Structure 1
Amino acid sequence: MEHSREVFKNVMMIHTPKEFSFAENLNYLQRSPNECLFTIVDEKIYRAIRVGSETTLVKISAEEESTLAIHFLNNTSPENKDVRSKVIQYIREWFDLDTDLLPFYKLAETDPFLKRPVSQFYGLRNMGIPELFEALAWGILGQQINLGYAYTLKRRLVEKYGTYIEWNGSKYWNFPTPEDIAILNVEDLFELKMTVKKCEYLIGVAQLLVNDVISKEKLLALKNINEAEKTLVKIRGIGPWTANYVLMRCLRFQAAFPIDDVGLHNSIKLLLEMEQKPTKEEIRKYAAAWKNWESYATFYLWRLLY
């Protein structure tokens, strides 16, 4: 009986929607060998998840397509029910399990741009970044550089200022908190080899979060995407692209649309076999059919490239 209680305590199940493929999401998560916030081995994801002052180490696997099994490892199973609930909520947000994709898939059936990627990657979710600081930082780090180098900068930042759980000889990292970064000077970040501007933006965003000038809760309370975007672009270092990236990957505004994104342009160019990238006016015309699903349309089009 004691053993049964222990097993129950260390394993939780999440039921997934019909329009979900664990395999497709794993394929997406493995697109960079330089990812530092989770590890994938034998089709299982290992990740540290922080809830307040408590950090758990989980193994996420698909028992079947309709169920994810969450195993707590290294004696990190939370005793507190609220903490357990927040770990599950984090995973649900990460995989965007609470979005009904049926309307998007119906739209894609006849859309000349979306038909191919949706057919190719059916069940893929817009894998999110549940923590606002991480989403903002990732947007800042990725500005005007290629994806590979953005991952390198993220790893340097995480391994210098993040925390980790060690298990079976491996380290499982958590992204630095705003408090970790807000107290730094620009010079402290020089060894990470990013631009002075990015150092300033990162510290500035961290300070705004620590001082409660912005928060995920405040942005979500706005409900209106235009108001949320306006609030974000007022922040130094956050332009329209970064704002929309955060709106789609963290705040889950389905109408978020980073229209200036190079990957989006290249994907449309590829599908239309164009010699030149489409203009913004052309993209707006194509995107008229994606109303309120611009974020998923963008995500699926990105997936054709990476």
Structure 2
Amino acid sequence: MWKERFKATGFYDFDYTLLRWQFDPLTRLDRAERWVDVPVKLGEERHIVRVQGLGTTAEPAFEVSGESVKDKDALVTHVQELFQWGVNLENIHQHFMDTNVKQLFQDHPGTPIVKDFHLYDCLMKVIIHQQLNMKFAYTLSTRFVHTFGSTKDGVWFYPDPEETAALKYEDLRALQFSQRKAEYVIDTSRMIAEGRLDLAGLSGQSDEEVKKQLVKIRGIGPWTAENWLLFGLGRQDLFPKADIGIQNAWKVYFDMDKKPSYEQMETHSAGWHPYRSYASLTLWRSIEG
């Protein structure tokens, strides 16, 4: 067993991250005790790393703990990449003080980009969730992992691409997947398992190049590609204009009678570059309660 403490650069709202993760039944956490158990795959090995908030939004601190001493460095590196404690959110906050969403950021300071646990898991989740309401989306992804994934000490792990690739479409249809969604999940997993789609390799390319490559894949459109860039790779300048939640939050914040057009959103977000992802997250947050 090992433990180590870390501090974030500037302010950081860890409690909002726990609130957002609470929507996913697969995530093991305790908001009152302020911890989350992170499933980490290192090759064939499965690890659980607990991240606990110790400080406040203004003075954030964290305790990270795990079982494997020999893998400690790799586990710490993985967790640091997920939570991005080295990003100075105060500088980003100041950027938005000169924009039309100044009040939004004043109301919700320190909203971080926290990445999903693994690139493949994130891609499967956004494919499963696309064009579904949030409740049923999480129902489907939970069924998928409970049926084909694995668990260790109460923490769930997504199946590997090779495991999903070996499934039949009927296996997912039995979980209430549509035929098309079953095909998207399994066919994409086969591409990854066969080496025709390299998610780690994509992580080194530009946002536009990643989107260009992903939308060539049947079942992956701009919304899915942008959400994978945001939550899989943690990219800072994504603005999924097609997202219903962002459109609803925009309507409320800008006091509009109807949802904005893409043209309105593009025009009025011009000053948000190069941090549009933070505006997207903060817009989502503003209507999540």
Asked if structure 1 preserves the Cα contact closer than 8 Å seen for 2:38 and 2:117, the reply is: no
Matches within 5 A, 1:69-84: 69-72=63-66, 77-80=67-70, 83-84=71-72
1:23 aligns with 2:6: no
Counterpart of 1:97 in structure 2 is: 85
- How far the C-alpha of 1:141 sits from its partner, in A, is 1.1
* Structure 2 residues not aligned, in runs of 5+: none
CA contact (8 A) 2:27 2:36 kept: no
* C-alpha contact 1:94 1:128 (8 A) present in aligned 2: yes
Unpaired segments of 5 or more residues in structure 1?
A: 1-8
User: Is 1:240 aligned to 2:222, yes or no?
Assistant: yes
Distance 1:14 1:226, change over 3 A: same
TM-score after normalising by structure 1 = 0.87
Q: Does the 8 Å CA contact 1:216/1:251 hold for their aligned counterparts?
A: no
| CA–CA separation in structure 1 for the residues paired with 2:115 and 2:91 | 20
Give 1:221 shift.
2.4
Among 86, 96, 119, which residue is 2:106 paired with? 119
Match of 2:42 in 1: 51
Q: Look up the match of 1:216.
A: 199
1:255 aligns with 2:249: no
Where does residue 4 of structure 1 map in the other structure? Answer: none
Number of aligned residue pairs: 284
**Separation of aligned partners in 2, 1:48 and 1:286:** 39
Q: Deviations over 1:17-49 (max 9, x none)?
A: 22213223223333x2x5213222522223432
Q: Distance in 1 between matches of 2:168 and 2:267?
A: 45
1:123: how far off? 1.9
Residue 58 of structure 1 aligns with an amino acid whose one-letter code is V
**In structure 2, distance between residues paired with 1:258 and 1:126:** 15
8 A contact 1:13–1:67 mirrored in 2: yes
Describe the SS at the equivalent of 2:204: helix
Rounded Cα–Cα distance in structure 2 between residues aligned with 1:124 and 1:193: 34
Q: Give the superposition deviation at 1:189.
A: 1.1
Whole-angstrom distance in 2 between the partners of 1:149 and 1:244: 21
Query: Alpha carbons of 1:28 and 1:188: their partners in 2 closer, same or farther (altered >3 Å)?
Result: closer
**Other-structure match for 2:25:** 35
State whether residues 238 and 280 of structure 2, in contact with CA within 8 Å, keep that contact through their aligned partners in structure 1.
no
SS of 1:221 mapped into structure 2: coil
TM-score (norm 2): 0.92
Instruction: Tell me by how many angstroms 1:192 deviates.
Output: 1.2
Partner SS state of residue 240, structure 2 = coil
Q: Which residue of the partner structure matches residue 110 of structure 1?
A: 98
Q: 2 CA distance for matches of 1:234 and 1:98?
A: 34
The whole-number CA distance in structure 1 between the counterparts of 2:50 and 2:200 is 28
State the alpha-carbon separation in 2 of the partners of residues 178 and 22 from structure 1.
30
Describe the superposition over 1:236-255 as per-residue Cα deviations: whole angstroms up to 9, x where unpaired. 11000100111111122222
Q: AA paired with 2:47?
A: T
Q: CA deviation at 1:217?
A: 2.4
1:200 is matched with 183
**Amino acid of the structure 2 residue aligned with 1:105:** H
CA distance in 2, matches of 1:10, 1:212: 36
